Structure 1
Amino acid sequence: MSAREALEAVAGDCTLLPALPVSGETDGPLGWKGYGASRRSAAERTGETESVVCATARIGGVDVVALSFEFGFLGGSIGEVTGDRIVAAHAHAREYRLPVVTLVATGGSRMQEGIRALSQLQRVAAQIVLTRDAGLPQLTVLRDPTTGGGWATLGAGADMILAMPAAQVAFAGSRVRPPEADPAAYTAEAQLAAGHIDAVVPQRELPGELALRLRLLTSPRPADPAPPPHALGVTDLPSSGWDAVARARAPRRPRADAYLDAYFTSRAEVAGDRCGGRDTGMRCGFGFHDGRTVAYAAQCGTATRPAGYRTAARLIRLADRLGIPVLTLVDTPGAANDASAEQAGAGSAIAELFTVVASARVPLTTLVIGEGGSGGALALAAPGNTWATPDSYFSVIAPELAAAILKRPPSATGPTADELRIRPQDLVELGFLRGLVTKSA
């Protein structure tokens, strides 16, 4: 698929941005013999004068600046003129307050321009930062292939990253990998499993997926906090601390997915911590609630892993930059504490999330929907705006572990739970919770 075909497949009302004339008569900054002829041949074959096409376009009712790579033009490689066009496109986006959508298909930096081509990655990175600092969202679609500097800047540097099925996505291109390397490790699917991209989207679904994400990230952003969801489970309050624990651990109790489905009319997830990890027990993304966009980070009842905390931190940082309020759902027995979790940096991941929550400028709302297990749950809680359902509890540590630490017999677990005052009504009285939520009318 050509650059223009890829653009037209997802966007309408495309208008090319003005492009500086390109000279194909010289052999470039290195005097690379035959380079000028190769450029002329590529132009004749593709109808383009460079490896990227830049335009204003409309996707799902949202005006954007779109960049689409032409792989047929010298492998979609990035040279000086490519860099010039990317710089100009981002400057246009900032001037007119438009999000940036990049459809990448590139083998990386252009060999025939040497270090002058490689240095374009610094220019591109600077534009990504300037556009990010301007509060404008950046979305990327990874086509086949996306390798080298294109992946390491325009690809991995975007706020949301979508990829085409089976696309080659890697820093190392196919000709420079170790001969024994498994090709499956260099695919979009492998990058998704490793937490580096947000979704793999078939071509037929791509226009709708891009449109939804753009609407979510550009809709009006009221400054007031998101309201807590209504309770979906029991309505009466627990009679004892251990009763509260039993309710929160009940297998049939409503979990995060039920709350998210009831709260949002539509939503789009971000997945992975961009550091090589993905925790399926943490749902993060953006959704529409009563016509406004709300970001969410929701624990799903499992022990949260370091990748889950980092993904939540990534989500809250993005929402904070875009001015979008955040809803968090707390439901975990605690942070994962196995050896692999420690090796993956459980402590630093939790510390990062505590810091991100403490420094957020947008309002955060938290609803405890099940277990609130120690610091692994508290890291996701909004100070001063945390609510709870009747089938939840929050504790400094699980009552069984508290009894063990205090050298009490197992039979003392129930009384210990009472002493800890972990029932939701106790937590309101102690000033930790702002209040309890009930079922909707």
Structure 2
Amino acid sequence: MTERRSARETVALVADGSAFTELPAPPGEPGPDGPLRWPGYDASRARAAERTGERESVVCGTARVEGTRAVLIAFEFGFLGGSLGARTGDRLEAAYTYAREHRLPVVALVATGGSRMQEGMVALTQLQRVARQSVLTREAGLPQIAVLRDPTTGGGWATLGAGADVALALPGAQVGFAGSRVRPADADPAAYTAEAQVAAGAADAVVRPGELRRTLGRWLRLLTSPSAEPATPPEPLGARDLPATGWDAVQRARSPRRPRATAYLDAYFTDRLAISGDRCGGTDDGMLCGFGERDGRTVAYAAQTGTATHPAGYRTAARLIRLADRLGIPVLTLVDTPGAANDAEAERQGAGAAIADLFAAVAGARTPVTTLVIGEGGSGGALALAAPGNTWVTPDSYFSVIAPELAAAILKRPAREVEATADRLRVRPQDLVELGVVRGTVGW
């Protein structure tokens, strides 16, 4: 279990100096013992206020985080377990409204056990209010970042936490929809942790408290730097000469010595942070996604690493592109895959639907998307990540309707004709330029 801090201690952990300006609480007072007239509810609230010094379970205000001004929403778990009631909803709605009016990102420092029992369905419906405010803020093109503290469960996780654009978690924090008192008796407690949620693709990273301010500051800087200019394709890091034959192109792209996505990203960006997971229960190490700084401006990236891409990888890339599109950030994609994963598990995980969703995300993006093929461009599993009209290739790459070996098999040609098939498919960089399917070869 991670160390528990109060709302104001957590604000102090992330805010620059002591400059936190609290937003005024919305006017009005709850009726006697709340909307259900729950016996003793007023007394419980009074004890919580005396114990914590707060009048509600959230503290909202503005502060700078590593120089970037943001609206901070900090939950006070000591106040009735950080639970959401009607007055909590009032404060949250006011905070989101202020963020939109002043064009500020929202950082939610979440620690909650869920909805408040003493307010019944009135409390539960606050989740709809929060969801509406989150949607309006998303439509306004403002980023939302969640920090998952201990615990983050129930409706708070299912709205402010899991609904954020980027979800960071403190080590060992209890994170899950089901709180500890409502889970099956035989439930594995390890499944309800920050680390498990990252592994399942529901959160992006675990961040130690001592690194939280700097990490939040980097994220805020990257996500609040829109640009209308498209990303420039990276310079080639490998071979500079063009291949003589189609089979030469295939062999060069498959060489273990050829530079891969990580080398290109390291050379291209001065700083970058990754998002992880498809928010549907999956991750794929073969698809690297995130935001980086290039020449003082932010560029989003989705990069294949040379392996077969799994459905979770395509969904993560689609998530990245849609987020960048909402924030007005240009996108760079790096294509390098022999093709989409084609095993039975990939089919069960919805390979076709995931690829279709990525095609749609690229096609629908209003922000400029730039693509560089840095290795293998295998069939639709590669094309889904490619920008129509703005795709480039490196000299040691190829792009093909399908791998030459598989093309020969489909056409019922013997193995000895694989190399000739590669030539006939016209997969070389110079062939692709001549065919008009790419804009050019970088470095030429």
| Partner residue, 2:9 | 5
TM-score, length basis structure 2? 0.97
Shift of 1:228: 0.1
Between the aligned partners of 1:134 and 1:383, the Cα distance in structure 2 is 27
Contact 2:73 2:109 in 1 (8 A): yes
* 1:127 aligned onto 2:155: no
> Is the partner of 1:277 in helix, strand or coil?
coil
Q: In structure 1, give the amino acid aligned to 2:124.
A: L
Matches within 5 A, 1:125-274: 125-219=131-225, 221-274=226-279
Shift of 1:22: 6.6
| Partner residue, 1:112 | 118
Between the aligned partners of 1:128 and 1:215, the Cα distance in structure 2 is 20
Which of 40, 64, 67 does residue 61 from structure 1 map onto? 67
* 1:309 aligned onto 2:314: yes
Q: CA offsets per residue over residues 306-327 of structure 1, 9 Å max, x none?
A: 0000000000000001110000
Shift of 1:87: 0.3
Shift of 1:222: 2.8
Q: In structure 2, give the amino acid aligned to 1:425.
A: Q
Give the gaps of 5 or more residues in structure 2.
Answer: none
| Partner residue, 2:443 | 438
Between the aligned partners of 1:25 and 1:381, the Cα distance in structure 2 is 58
Q: In structure 2, give the amino acid aligned to 1:401.
A: L
Q: CA offsets per residue over residues 216-271 of structure 1, 9 Å max, x none?
A: 0112x331210000100011111111111110000111000000000000001111
| Partner residue, 2:368 | 363
Shift of 1:438: 2.0
| Partner residue, 2:355 | 350
Which of 394, 400, 413 does residue 389 from structure 1 map onto? 394
Contact 2:26 2:94 in 1 (8 A): no
Shift of 1:24: 7.4
Q: In structure 1, give the amino acid aligned to 2:299.
A: V
Between the aligned partners of 2:78 and 2:145, the Cα distance in structure 1 is 23
Which of 397, 407, 410 does residue 402 from structure 1 map onto? 407
Contact 2:30 2:87 in 1 (8 A): no
TM-score, length basis structure 1? 0.98
Q: Give aligned pairs, total.
A: 438
> Is the partner of 1:103 in helix, strand or coil?
strand
4+ long deviations beyond 3 Å = 20-25
Between the aligned partners of 2:274 and 2:57, the Cα distance in structure 1 is 31
Which of 80, 100, 107 does residue 86 from structure 2 map onto? 80
Between the aligned partners of 2:272 and 2:13, the Cα distance in structure 1 is 23
> Is the partner of 2:121 in helix, strand or coil?
helix
Contact 1:331 1:377 in 2 (8 A): yes
Contact 2:190 2:196 in 1 (8 A): yes
Between the aligned partners of 1:74 and 1:152, the Cα distance in structure 2 is 19
Between the aligned partners of 2:137 and 2:397, the Cα distance in structure 1 is 42
Between the aligned partners of 2:171 and 2:154, the Cα distance in structure 1 is 19
Contact 1:424 1:436 in 2 (8 A): yes
Which of 30, 39, 43 does residue 45 from structure 2 map onto? 39
Q: Percent identity?
A: 74
Give the gaps of 5 or more residues in structure 1.
Answer: none
Q: CA offsets per residue over residues 257-313 of structure 1, 9 Å max, x none?
A: 000000000001111000001001000000001111000000000000000000000
Between the aligned partners of 1:336 and 1:199, the Cα distance in structure 2 is 25
Q: CA offsets per residue over residues 127-183 of structure 1, 9 Å max, x none?
A: 000111111100000000000000000001111100001110000000100111100
Q: In structure 1, give the amino acid aligned to 2:13.
A: A
Q: CA offsets per residue over residues 403-424 of structure 1, 9 Å max, x none?
A: 1111111110000000000001
Contact 1:24 1:36 in 2 (8 A): no
Q: In structure 1, give the amino acid aligned to 2:424.
A: E
Q: In structure 2, give the amino acid aligned to 1:294.
A: V
Between the aligned partners of 1:238 and 1:354, the Cα distance in structure 2 is 29
* 1:280 aligned onto 2:285: yes
Q: In structure 2, give the amino acid aligned to 1:261.
A: D
Between the aligned partners of 1:45 and 1:23, the Cα distance in structure 2 is 20
Shift of 1:213: 0.4
Contact 1:24 1:37 in 2 (8 A): no
Between the aligned partners of 2:431 and 2:35, the Cα distance in structure 1 is 72
| Partner residue, 1:100 | 106
Shift of 1:31: 1.0
Shift of 1:214: 0.3
Q: In structure 1, give the amino acid aligned to 2:7.
A: A
Between the aligned partners of 2:227 and 2:107, the Cα distance in structure 1 is 25
Q: In structure 1, give the amino acid aligned to 2:339.
A: G
Q: Compared with structure 1, are the counterparts of its residues 411 and 40 closer, same or farther at alpha carbon in structure 2 (3 Å cutoff)?
A: same
Contact 1:25 1:37 in 2 (8 A): no
Between the aligned partners of 2:148 and 2:37, the Cα distance in structure 1 is 32
Which of 403, 411, 422 does residue 427 from structure 2 map onto? 422
Q: Which moved more, 1:343-352 or 1:15-24?
A: 15-24
> Is the partner of 1:353 in helix, strand or coil?
helix
Shift of 1:21: 5.6
Q: CA RMSD in A?
A: 1.0
Contact 1:25 1:36 in 2 (8 A): no
Between the aligned partners of 1:97 and 1:259, the Cα distance in structure 2 is 34
Between the aligned partners of 1:45 and 1:176, the Cα distance in structure 2 is 26
> Is the partner of 1:369 in helix, strand or coil?
strand
